[in-house]
Amino acid sequence: MNQFQILALLDLGAAVTLRDWPYWADWESVYGILPDADEARLKALTAPDPNPDAVIRVAAPYDFTKAPGVPTLVMVTSETGRIRPESVAGGIPIGKAVAASDALIYTPSRWSRDGLIANGIPGERITVIGHGVDTALWHPADEAERHSLRRRFGWDDAFVLLNVGAMTGNKGIDLLLAGFARLLETCPQARLVLKGLDAIFRSRDMVAALLNRLPAADRATVASRLTYVGHSVSLADLATLFRAADAYVSPYRGEGFNLPVLEAAASGLPVICTDGGATDDFTGPDFTLRVDAALDEGARVLEPFPDHLLAQLRRCIEDDAWRRGAQSAGPAFVAAGHTWRHTAAGLLRAAGLA
């Protein structure tokens, strides 16, 4: 996300220097994910300017120390529940840390903003600046490309549902697998494709554990129609999965933003996702079927209703006219207001530089 923010800032003519913050987990750098030209621009970034016009901080633990004399923007995200003190520099409650600072707080969705307020940050301190999409990477396929991709993946006779992410509990993969088992009873042509992140999370193990929770008969049926991809791929290759699929499904319980939903819309995919969460900010009825969910306000968790998830899955498969409309409505919506260029412009405005 931050790499795309930086690239968009450069495209708008901003001079960007970088301090790469050490990550708290045992992750290794991986190259070849972004297009070569973009990675070259990022590698060319120099060490921090000692006299910047603004500082944008995207790091964990959250550090709200204001840079002397210039606007300081700190990105903070709330997905579900409480933000623990260990997620804040100094190990103090986040509300107390923000109160002691003049830094500007930005977050990618209204859902996340509400979560930050619940964690003790005053609403007037928070600006919502949504994430974006690089439409040079995520865009619809023409018929020839789509036909070629589906033949390559072996999806010619399938209706392909896609989900991309960590496969952690907040993603609702357990609900998706159970709903998919029921969907196959009346839609045997359906196929589910899960793209995990094995290099960062234990995504494959989490999916295997969730499959094992299904009844034996359902487990066998789902496994026969499930494709799991866990290895690292370039974003260009990842985008081909989006262009070749038929719909994107995300029955999540809590997300700070849920970027793959926006990428799916940009790719011309109809979207099925949870109602009431972060994706409300950037989805509309022309290309989205929302799944009703109950809100646990104390835990700040949404619980999608399985029966409504199944109904929306079936409607997406059966309603050809709606799907055809979604294929053009989603990309137009994203291009009009949800690219990384829009994000970068929001950052410059928040910093008082535009």
- State which H helix or E strand residue 247 sits in: strand 247-250
Domains in the chain, number? 2
- What's the CA gap between 197 and 201, in Å, rounded? 6
- What's the CA gap between 340 and 332, in Å, rounded? 15
Position 175 in a domain? yes
**pLDDT band at 67; cut points 50, 70, 90:** very high
Say how many CA atoms lie within 13 Å of 133 toward its Cβ.
30
170 and 56 in a common domain: no
Position 248 in a domain? yes
63 and 6 in a common domain: yes
Position 138 in a domain? no
Percent of the residues in the chain that have a pLDDT greater than 90, as a whole number: 95
7 and 113 in a common domain: yes
**pLDDT band at 82; cut points 50, 70, 90:** very high
Helices 235-244/259-266 angle, 10° precision: 60
- What's the CA gap between 37 and 24, in Å, rounded? 28
147 and 102 in a common domain: no
| Mean pLDDT on 287-297 | 97
**pLDDT band at 179; cut points 50, 70, 90:** very high
Position 148 in a domain? yes
Determine if residue 91 is left, alpha or beta; phi over 0 gives left, psi from -120 to 50 gives alpha, anything else beta.
left
Position 21 in a domain? yes
Q: Is the pLDDT of residue 28 over 80?
A: no
- Backbone φ and ψ for 183, nearest 5 degrees, come out as -60, -40
pLDDT at 168 (0 to 100): 96
163 and 304 in a common domain: yes
Q: What is the pLDDT of residues 97-151, one digit of tens each?
A: 999 999 999 999 999 999 999 999 999 999 999 999 999 999 999 999 999 999 9
Q: Is the pLDDT of residue 319 over 90?
A: yes
Position 95 in a domain? yes
- What's the CA gap between 295 and 298, in Å, rounded? 9
Q: What is the pLDDT of residues 203-237, one digit of tens each?
A: 999 999 999 999 999 999 999 999 999 999 999 99
pLDDT at 232 (0 to 100): 93
19 and 91 in a common domain: yes
The CATH number linked to 195 is: 3.40.50.2000
Position 137 in a domain? no
114 and 176 in a common domain: no
DSSP 8-state code for residue 86: G
Structural tokens at position 259: 């970027």
Q: Is the pLDDT of residue 342 over 80?
A: yes
Position 111 in a domain? yes
157 and 66 in a common domain: no
- What's the CA gap between 243 and 79, in Å, rounded? 28
**Domain span including residue 74:** 2-132+340-350
Q: Is the pLDDT of residue 85 over 90?
A: yes
Query: With contact defined as beta carbons under 8 Å apart, do 255 and 79 qualify?
Result: yes
291 and 200 in a common domain: yes
DSSP 8-state code for residue 353: -
pTM for this model (two decimals): 0.97
306 and 177 in a common domain: yes
Query: With contact defined as beta carbons under 8 Å apart, do 71 and 55 qualify?
Result: yes
Strands of 271-274's sheet, edge to edge? Answer: 226-229, 190-195, 159-164, 247-250, 271-274, 288-291
307 and 215 in a common domain: yes
332 and 345 in a common domain: no
